[in-house]
Amino acid sequence: MSGPTLKAFTNVQPAKATGKFIVIEGIDGSGKGTQMCRLAEWLYKRNKTYHIVMTREPTAVSEHGELIRRLLATSREMGQYAREFLRLFVADRADHIRRLIAPALKYTCIVLCDRYKHSTIAFQQTQGVPFEEIIKAHEGLLIPDLTIILDTDPRIALQRNIDDKSRAYQEVFEREVYFMEKIRSHYLELPARLPNEKIIIIDANRSPDAVFELVRAAIEKHLNL
């Protein structure tokens, strides 16, 4: 008796989307990368139902993402390219959702994303773009199941960036504590300004172990995994 053919498998349609979309946010030096890796390992061991996908923004696979990275590395003034950044980030984000995030969620993945629209809200507001304009630009884009903002004192974050030998350059937004404080303040406003989204703020001035315990507790409390 012969088994199923390859054609039979390729004709199988995916079930309704059951994945989870989790975003990790915060100013540069808040420990996003460290917590993303620890969270991915913990989720992988916790539940074998889900596959784990780690990604970041801006992406490195679209022309918009590549241009963003060049502008971040070469910009010298905080207000420079404000609306150009907004346009590029939204275009890169829409492409990211279409190519990776939405298909992964459809195939029962937990998608962990280092930065998403909340970064654009915080950073481009600091550049002078109104909140309402940024929100309008994101209309129709995917809303995360949970957003975790790692709240860090800008002075601590800046020192972490200086100590990080793997960083080849500092982006324009990392160069002044004053601007990092403004960005931080915009992040802290998000739970009130986006009441229909699940946004959790975590004190990230602590040790990586202590921060991860708070991240893990937030996942357990707010998501059914």
For 131-169, how does the pLDDT look when each residue is reduced to its tens digit (9 = 90+)?
999 999 999 999 999 999 999 998 888 876 666 554 444
pLDDT tens, residue by residue, 80-104:
789 999 999 999 999 999 999 999 9
Q: Is the pLDDT score of 187 beyond 80? A: yes
SS3 string, the chain, reads: CCCCCHHHHHCCCCCCCCCEEEEEECCCCCCHHHHHHHHHHHHHHHCCCCEEEEEECCCCCCHHHHHHHHHHHHCCCCCCCHHHHHHHHHHHHHHHHHHHHHHHHHCCEEEEEECCHHHHHHHHHHCCCCHHHHHHHCCCCCCCCEEEEEECCHHHHHHHHHHCCCCCCCCHHHCCHHHHHHHHHHHHHHHHHCCCCCEEEEECCCCHHHHHHHHHHHHHHHCCC
Residue 86 maps to a domain:
yes
Q: Is residue 9 part of a domain?
A: no
Q: Is residue 1 part of a domain?
A: no
| Residue 200 resides in a domain | yes
Percent of all residues in the chain with a pLDDT value above 70, rounded to a whole number: 84
Q: Is residue 187 part of a domain?
A: yes
- pLDDT for position 104: 97
Range of the domain at 54: 17-222
Within a domain: 5: no
Domain count, the chain: 1
- The answer to whether residue 93 is domain-embedded is yes
Condensed to tens digits (0 to 9), the pLDDT of residues 21-65 reads 999 999 989 999 999 999 999 999 998 889 999 999 999 888 999
Here the CATH number for the domain that contains residue 134 is 3.40.50.300
pTM of the predicted structure, to 2 decimals: 0.86
Residue 11 lies in a domain: no
Whether residue 191 is predicted with pLDDT greater than 80 in this model: the reply is: yes
